[in-house]
Structure 1
Amino acid sequence: MTQPPFRFDLSGGRLCLDFANTVGGMRGVTPKERLAAYPDLVEFARQTGAVNEAQARHLLAEARRRPAEAERAFSDALTLRETLYRTFLARAERRAPAAEDVERLSTALGAALAHRRLERRGDAFALGWDADAGALDAPLWPVVLSAAELLTSDADADRVRVCGLYETHECSWLFVDETRAGTRRWCSMQDCGNKAKARRHHRRTREQRQA
């Protein structure tokens, strides 16, 4: 029986952060890799709307036809992901991102924007992407644009956070805190938030028993 595709958690609030979060757990300690091969990259892009269903099918067919190129595109995707993670972690920690990471993103942005196109939609125009679905790096173009838009929006960039369980080396996910008071601490209340809540309850109960 064919296994259903892995469902990516999209709680980062921006496409670029969701992409950075395709490593679960704690980077460097207990990482859970969610991108094992090029088809996983296409599936992430499909689930997030970075490519549509037809484009996803075409990309997978092209990857089967050009496996070496697909492997290079996948390797570049992982490099981009880690560059994004380092850059936005620096923002979350109120540090300046490394100059080489900013340069890599700038180069990637230039490559992505070369595929930007005007599209006619009814009586209006909109910005879209090159219709050449055979470009194996197409899933990355919207990711890079998302990163550039977030970095250049001071109000949003200042709200980039790292999960509160980063302090205990359990989770390294990033997110944009869009709460009015700016008090969101967890990447997901259902996961890390509940875990932290249960720990606080256990600690209080133990302290009460010892009092």
Structure 2
Amino acid sequence: MGTAATRTEWTFELSGGRLALDFVNTQGGMRGVSPKEHLHAYADLVAFARQAGALDDRRARALMAEARRRPADADAALRDALAVREALYRIFLARTRGGAPAADDVARISSAVGRALAHRRLDPRDAGFALGWDEPGDALDAPLWPVMASAAEVLTSGADLARVRVCGLYDSDECSWLFVDETRSGTRRWCSMKDCGNKAKARRHYRRTRGGEDG
């Protein structure tokens, strides 16, 4: 997997509405059919966390320096992050399809949430406090800490969890991205209008046009 990026940094699309769902969507395409992986190396995991606002630049640089010192551990951290991501995906997908998540997946995410929240701390802010995070130090799983906090918030929020959707192109085996539907009507169908939404719109137009020609 490697820790050094040998290509231009991928720009992640953050359209899931919650950090945990954006993390799940770091694999594009259709899982099991035509997946498009965007976390190829530990550097990609750090890049996602930085772009999503889960890590600041200073912490991202510190983690990359640690990864260069411990490349095997960084690769292991990436493998664990991918396993957590897929378990999280299956849990959310099960909810969107009206099913129950697998016990093994719930156990994995519960464990990951526990490890992450152990790094929560109080930071003094003006006249009060804010919740922050420990310094990463040598903890190569630090990019996952805010992700797992977000996952816990969504999974334990009845309102958010009820509005988690899978892209409308899931049933045609084209997209498995997840998102929180925050429209007032609760009728959002596409993970992204500029991609899947436009694709579906173009297909409807084509069918109408063909129907008119045939008629």
Distance 2:8 2:73 in 1: 26
Offset of 1:4 from its aligned partner? Answer: 4.0
1:131-142 to 2 correspondences below 5 Å: 131-142=135-146
Of 36, 42, 48, the match for 1:44 = 48
The one-letter code matched in structure 1 to 2:163 is: R
1:199-210 to 2 correspondences below 5 Å: 199-210=203-214
The one-letter code matched in structure 2 to 1:5 is: E
* Matched position secondary structure for 2:54: coil
Offset of 1:3 from its aligned partner? Answer: 5.3
The size of the alignment, in residue pairs, is: 210
* Matched position secondary structure for 1:59: helix
Cα separation, partners in 2 of 1:133 and 1:45, compared to 1, 3 Å: farther
Offset of 1:128 from its aligned partner? Answer: 0.7
Of 185, 189, 204, the match for 1:185 = 189
Of 173, 179, 182, the match for 1:175 = 179
* Matched position secondary structure for 2:29: strand
Of 28, 44, 50, the match for 1:24 = 28
Q: TM-score if structure 2 supplies the norm length?
A: 0.95
After superposition, give the CA deviation of every residue in 1:166-203 in whole Å (9 maximum; x if it has no partner): 11111110000000000000000111000000000100
Offset of 1:92 from its aligned partner? Answer: 1.1
The one-letter code matched in structure 1 to 2:76 is: R
Percent of matched pairs sharing the same residue: 68
Q: TM-score if structure 1 supplies the norm length?
A: 0.97
Offset of 1:134 from its aligned partner? Answer: 2.6
1:50-199 to 2 correspondences below 5 Å: 50-199=54-203
* Matched position secondary structure for 2:23: helix
Offset of 1:133 from its aligned partner? Answer: 3.5
CA RMSD of aligned residues (A): 1.1
TM superposition outliers: structure 1 runs of 4+ over 6 Å:
none
Offset of 1:36 from its aligned partner? Answer: 0.2
Gaps of 5+ in 2: 1-5
* Matched position secondary structure for 2:169: helix
